[in-house]
Structure 1
Amino acid sequence: MTDVMIKRRKARELALQILFQADVGNLPIEEAIETTLADAVDLDKEICDYAVQLARSIWQRKPDLDSQIQSVTPHWTVERMAAVDRNLIRMALYEMLYVPDVPYRVAINEAVELAKEYGSTESRRFVNGVLGALVRKLNLDKTQRERG
């Protein structure tokens, strides 16, 4: 893994912690950021900056992201999903839609890897399945082939 990939992975982990705190603790995103960063004093500024930007942007677009997620999980509401799973799916979907330098396959792979580490035994499969359905629904495979 390159230095950039390692930093992005750490930033995603930190963003997941922020999102989890805001979601489960029902906290304002700024409070979740402040609390999480207070515990992350050893991380470099670049990692923290990307994590905070990611968490704020995801939280700002949460209603739209959740609507997209809900459209491919008609029998499973976003609220019923495990908190880790729904926040990983939100993060990957956000990166797939709004971060042009992150290919959708990378966003999915990162979410699945983090699900293995932080989720339940079923999280990996669930996260991968929902994100795969979103790729098909949003036709991201065709879109990224045309861009690249």
Structure 2
Amino acid sequence: MNRRTAREKAFQVLFQMDINAVDPSEALEHVLEKPVQDSFLRELVFGVNEKKSSIDQQIADHLQNWSLNRLASVEKTVLRIATYELLYNDEVPTGVAINEAVELAHKFGDEKSGKFINGVLSKMLK
């Protein structure tokens, strides 16, 4: 599985976890048609889950005129994945993490999601 596909699957898993309050293993089972042992996918899912409180704090610190609770689940999930990659994964270049987050937002969010995600992540980098 390539990294873009892994990010999309991670998004689906983390989105399901956010909506239904299920554990990562159970959410992975529901999203994947068959068992997949992709290390990058697992790192994103379990890493975001493990670091969720510090990731959410980092996101909240960079929101302007918004609170984390007001964010739609799509944007919140995309920001969590990107923030995890920016803070905790040295293998992913900053530009790639942001571009991939914007692409996820375009795919799963509305027409304004990509701009919003880009703005929040850009503030994080300053």
What is the TM-score normalised by the length of structure 1? 0.79
CA-CA distance at 1:114 after TM superposition: 1.1
Deviation for aligned residue 1:75: 2.6
Structure 1: which 5+ runs fail to align?
A: 1-5, 137-148
Give the one of 106, 112, 118 matched to 1:128.
118
Q: CA deviation at 1:74?
A: 4.8
Q: 1:52 corresponds to which residue?
A: 42
User: Cα deviations across residues 3-46 of structure 1 (Å, max 9, x unaligned)?
Assistant: xxx70000000000000000011222222122112x2x3x864x
Matched, 1:20 2:15: yes
What does residue 53 of structure 2 align with?
63
1:30 is matched with: 25
Q: Distance in 1 between matches of 2:95 and 2:104?
A: 14
Counterpart Cα distance in 1 of 2:42 and 2:28? 7
- CA deviations 1:53-94 (Å, max 9, x no partner) are 211110110100000010111531112111111111111111
The structure with the largest alpha-carbon Rg is 1
TM-score w.r.t. structure 2 length?
0.92
2:82 is aligned with 1:92: yes
Gap regions ≥5 residues in structure 2: none
* Residue identity opposite 1:18 in structure 2: V
- Counting matched residue pairs gives 126
How many Å separate the matches in 1 of 2:49 and 2:69? 15
Distance 1:61 1:74 in 2: 22
SS at match of 1:64: helix
